[in-house]
Amino acid sequence: MKTMSEEDVDLGTEDAPPARREDFEANGPIEIDIAIGTGRIEIQLVDEPGVRVEVRHAPESDDQWVPGLSGLLNWVSGQFGGGPQDNSPEETVRQTRIDLTGNRLVVRTPKPLPMRGMPLSVVVKAPSGSHVETKSGSASLAVTGSAGRVNVTSGTGDISVDRADGAASVQSASASVRLGPMLGGVRVKTGSGDLEVSSVGGPSLLFTGTGDIWLGAVQSDVTVRTGSGDVTVADAACGRIEVVTGSGELRVAVRSGVKAQVDLVSYSGRAYSELALSDTPPPGEPSLFVRGRTGSGTAVITTAVG
């Protein structure tokens, strides 16, 4: 059942783009499902009830082909007997679907071209712990606060998520990705762009074709791969860590007091340890296993700071 407490539509002015706002009742976490073509998405997860959605035209993210395509389609429709279509920002905002049914919020931009390519700003404010799923062709994403599960699919556009308590997945053709604590683990794949994750608490995979990878605290099994970039693990505590780069430096810092089994290789560079090493296994099973490979670069194992 859809519950709506308020809807506002602002047609905009020369200085302010058209906007639409809707408010819904919600007493706990919801499912957030957003799909847009281009623009930006901002999700604010807060410790208070209720859901607010604001959609507005984002001309600062405009692609130059959109106005030209709009004119072309209007010309074609006129040539074949149909009247010119209203593909204005105002109409695109008006036709954007905003719906809360049960505990699932859906935001969808119109499918017909060129509305699908109209840059929009979507801002959602919802209770903490809400699950997030977004899809976009070319849009930035920022999630603040604590999310449950996170699933992000994007063509291009920078991505940042403060925190996810459940499993998280990020896929992008080209993006800079910055993630906070991923307590349920995370899978990140991007064709190009740097990856940064402050900590992982579950099995994780980080992959970028070209870019550096920085990983903070690790307390689970992790696989890290980059075609050309440096890899840093700042605080390895436990689990099986595999780090591979085709051409870059590897640096893995082991938490103080942790027993680790280490296997580092640089095929055309230097591999060394700043820790005391022994050929004799210590009593008991080590809690950390590190395997690192670089084609051309330095590989080093060291002590975590702090």
Burial 207-221 (b: 16+ CB within 10 A, else e): bbbbbbbbbbbbbbb
pLDDT for 12 equals 54
Report pLDDT digits (tens) over 113-164.
Answer: 677 788 999 999 999 999 999 999 999 999 999 999 999 999 999 999 999 9
What SS3 state is found at 55? strand
Alpha helix positions (H), the chain = 65-79, 89-95
Amino acid at 193: G
Euclidean distance between CA atoms 267 and 298, whole angstroms: 9
pLDDT of residue 93 exceeding 80, the answer is: yes
In this prediction, residues 93-104 reach a mean pLDDT of 96
Report pLDDT digits (tens) over 59-85.
Answer: 876 554 444 444 444 544 445 555 556
Euclidean distance between CA atoms 11 and 56, whole angstroms: 10
pLDDT for 276 equals 80
In this prediction, residues 190-202 reach a mean pLDDT of 97
Q: For CA atoms 154, 189, 205, 163, give the dihedral sign.
A: negative
Q: Which residue has the tokens 């603040």?
A: 144
In this prediction, residues 22-36 reach a mean pLDDT of 98
Percentage of residues of the chain with pLDDT beyond 70: 85
pLDDT for 112 equals 76
pTM over 0.85: yes
Report pLDDT digits (tens) over 207-241.
Answer: 999 999 999 999 999 999 999 999 999 999 999 99
Percentage of residues of the chain with pLDDT beyond 90: 76
In this prediction, residues 85-99 reach a mean pLDDT of 87
What SS3 state is found at 72? helix
